[in-house]
Chains A and B, each alone.
Chain A
Amino acid sequence: MSMRTLTVRIKRYVPERDRAPRWEEFKVEADPHDRVLDVIQKVKWDQDETIGLRRSCAHGVCGSDAMRINGVNRLACKVLIKSLPSDVLTLEPILGLPVIKDLIVDMKPFFDHYKSVLPYLINDDPPPTTERLQSPEERARFDDTTRCILCACCTAACPPFWGDDKYVGPAAIVNAHRFIFDSRDRGAAERLDILNDTEGVWRCRTVFNCTNACPREIKVTQAIQEVKQALLTGEVDTHSIVNIHQET
Chain B
Amino acid sequence: MNYHRFDCIIVGSGGAGLMAALEASKLAGTAVVSKLYPTRSHTGAAQGGIAAALANLEDDTWENHAYDTIKGGDFLVDQTAAEVLCREAVECIYDLEHMGLPFDRTPDGRISQRRFGGHTKPNPVYDPAAPAGTEAAKPRIPVKRACHSADRTGHMILQTLYQQCIKQGVTFFDEFHMLDLIMVEGECRGIVAIEIATSELHVFHAKSVLLATGGFGRMFKVSSNAFALTGDGPAIAYRHGIPLEDMEFYQFHPTGIYRLGILLSEACRGDGGVMFNGEGERFMEKYAPNLKDLASRDVCSRSIYQEVRAGRGVGGKDYVYLDIRAETINKYKTSPTGEPVDSAWVSKRLPDIIDFARTYLGVDPIHEPMPIQPTAHYAMGGLPTDVHGRVLRDESGAFIAGLYSAGESACVSVHGANRLGTNSLVDLVVFGRRTGREMARFALDRPFQSLPPKPEAYVKAEIEAVLARPRVEPWVKIRDEMQRTMMDECGVFRTADTLTKARDVLVDLQNRYRSTGVQDKGTVFNTGLLEVLELGCLLDLAQATVASALARKESRGAHSREDFPTRDDSQFFRHTFIFKDGEYPGRIGYKDVDVILRQVDGRMEPKYPLEIRKY
On A, residues with C-beta under 8 Å from B are 14-17, 33, 44-46, 48-50, 52-64, 78, 80, 100-102, 104, 107, 111, 115, 118-121, 123, 127, 129-136, 138-139, 142-143, 146-147, 149-150, 179, 182, 184-185
Q: Which residues of A contact B359 (CB under 8 A)?
A: 60, 78, 80
Distance from B90 Cβ to chain A, minimum over Cβ atoms (Å): 9
A58 and B226 contacting across the interface, CB-CB below 8 Å: yes
A122: shortest Cβ distance to chain B, in Å?
A: 8
Residues of A within 8 A of B156 (CB): 146
Q: How far is the CA of A146 from the CA of B37 in the complex (A)?
A: 18
Residue with the highest number of chain B CB atoms closer than 10 Å, among A48, A120, A142: A120
A239 to chain B, nearest CB (A): 12
Question: Per-residue CB proximity of B349-362 to A under 8 Å, as 1/0?
Answer: 00010011001100
Q: For B93, give the chain A residue with the smallest CB separation.
A: A131
Q: Is the CB of A49 within 8 A of B518?
A: yes
Alpha-carbon distance A143/B149, docked complex (angstroms): 10
| Contact of A139 (CB < 8 Å), options: B36, B105, B164, B259 | B105
Whole-angstrom CA separation of A116 from B453 in the bound complex? 41
Report B-chain residues with C-beta under 8 Å of the C-beta of A55.
227
B518 contacts A131, C-beta separation under 8 Å: no
| Residues of B contacting A: mostly | loop
Nearest chain-B residue to A52 (Cβ)? B525
Knowing A62-B226, A121-B100, A147-B152 are in contact, say whether A49-B36 is a contact too (CB < 8 A).
Answer: no
Q: Is there a chain A Cβ closer than 8 Å to B262's Cβ?
A: yes
Docked complex: B85-111 residues within 8 A CB-CB of A: 93-94, 97-100, 102-111
Q: Which among B38-46, B76-84, B284-292 touches the partner chain?
A: B38-46
A62-B524 in contact (CB<8A): no
Q: Find B98's partner among A46, A115, A127, A185 (CB 8 Å cutoff).
A: A127
Q: Provide the B118-160 mask, 1 if CB < 8 A to any CB of A, else 0.
A: 0000000000000000000000000000000100100110010
Q: Which 4 A-B pairs have the closest CB atoms?
A: A121-B100, A133-B109, A120-B163, A49-B519
B166 interfacial contact with A, CB 8 Å? yes
Whether B40 lies near A121 (C-beta < 8 A) is: no
**Contact between A56 and B104, CB atoms less than 8 A apart:** no
Which chain B residues (158-213) contact chain A, with CB distance < 8 Å? Answer: 159, 163-164, 166-167, 197
Check A63 against B39 for contact (C-beta < 8 Å): yes
Interface size on B, residues (CB 8 A): 57
**Quick check: A121 and B42 within 8 Å, CB to CB?**
no
Q: Are B227 and A58 in contact (CB under 8 A)?
A: yes
B596 CB–A CB distance under 8 Å = no
B373 to chain A, nearest CB (A): 15
| Nearest B residue (CB) for A44 | B528
A45-B474, A132-B97, A136-B107 as given contacts; A57 in contact with B44, CB under 8 Å: yes
Q: Does B566 lie at the interface of the complex (its beta carbon under 8 Å from any beta carbon of A)? A: no
Task: Select B519's contact among A48, A111, A119, beta carbons within 8 Å.
Answer: A48
User: How far is it, in angstroms, between the C-alpha of A184 and the C-alpha of B105 when the chains are bound?
Assistant: 13
Q: Output the least CB separation between A35 and chain B (Å).
A: 8
Contact of B226 among A17, A56, A150 (CB under 8 A): A56
Residue B281 interfacial (CB < 8 Å): no
Q: Is B280 an interface residue (CB 8 A)?
A: no
| Distance of B62 from chain A, by nearest CB (Å) | 14
CB distance from A214 to the nearest CB of B (A): 13
Give per-residue flags for B5-49: 1 if the beta carbon is below 8 A from chain A beta carbons, else 0. 000000000000000000000000000000011011110110000
B176 to chain A minimum Cβ distance, whole angstroms, is 14
Residue pair B39, A182 in contact (C-beta under 8 Å)? no
Answer yes or no: B337 CB below 8 A from chain A CBs. no
B520 contact from A49, A133, A185, Cβ within 8 A: A49
Contact of A135 with B105 at beta-carbon distance under 8 Å, contacts A64-B40, A129-B94 already known:
yes
